[in-house]
Amino acid sequence: MLDFAAVTRKETTLFELCGQLTPNQLRDMTNEMIDTILDMIAECTDEDVMFEYRDSQAEDKVAASSDEVNMSWTLGHVIVHTTASGEEAAAVAAALARGVQPEGRSRYETPWQTIQTVGQCGQRLEESRRIRLASLGMWPDKPHVDNHITLSFLSGPVNAPARFCLGLLHESSHLEQIREIIRQAKVTHTE
């Protein structure tokens, strides 16, 4: 899996790390990320999916309601959140690759309350894989890698491959949270 640590530490930019990646490389990275999460949840139960873990740092500045701002997330919530971000990144990247300057957000997040079983988590992950891989099929044979956008929270511009990787970076930043949810759920359910 691509190591985004240098980007997180601001030692390099996402463009410098990812700006020259090919659709085939992005396809491989997407499969690796989805497979990693599927492996992580393989031994989970439906009870684990609904478990609300203890997260003293919970803060969602863009929560749907004020009641959810400091709410600890369930496993299902994390999965719908990360997959929505990956799909948005893929959609925006496809536009950039085609030479289009995207405007606004391109995001839909499945209501987290509807994801209550391991089967639903797996289905959401596989659906996201299909959506993201399909978006790579929208790239022209010669993508417009010189087409850039600037995001306020990132250093430097991003092109299509870098924007696609932003979804993977975001997803990788939640892997430890997924591990911790599963760990706490297993401890709680064996007590």
Give the tens place of pLDDT for each residue, 17-58: 999 999 999 999 999 999 999 999 999 999 999 998 877 665
Q: Please provide the DSSP assignment of 173-188 as one string.
A: HTHHHHHHHHHHHHHH
Nearest to 166 by CA among 73, 72, 29, 37: 29
Check pLDDT > 70 for residue 62: no
For residue 1, what are the contacts with CB-CB under 8 A and spacing of at least 6?
A: 29, 32, 33, 36, 172
Q: What percent of the chain has pLDDT over 90?
A: 75
For residue 58, the model assigns a pLDDT of: 55
**What ranges make up the beta strands (E) of 66-187?**
149-150, 157-158
Check pLDDT > 60 for residue 70: no
Q: pTM of the entire structure? A: 0.91
Can you read off the two tokens belonging to residue 143?
């993508």
165-175 confidence digits (pLDDT tens):
999 999 999 99
Torsion of CA 104, 19, 172, 86, to 10 degrees: 30
CA distances (Å), origin 22, targets 49, 57, 90: 35, 36, 13
Q: What is the CATH number that goes with domain 5-190?
A: 1.20.120
Spell out the alpha helix ranges (H) of 71-144: 75-97, 118-136
Gap between the Cα atoms of 83 and 126, Å rounded? 10
115-156 confidence digits (pLDDT tens):
999 999 999 999 999 999 999 999 999 999 999 998 888 778
Check pLDDT > 70 for residue 187: yes
Q: What is the mean pLDDT of the chain?
A: 91
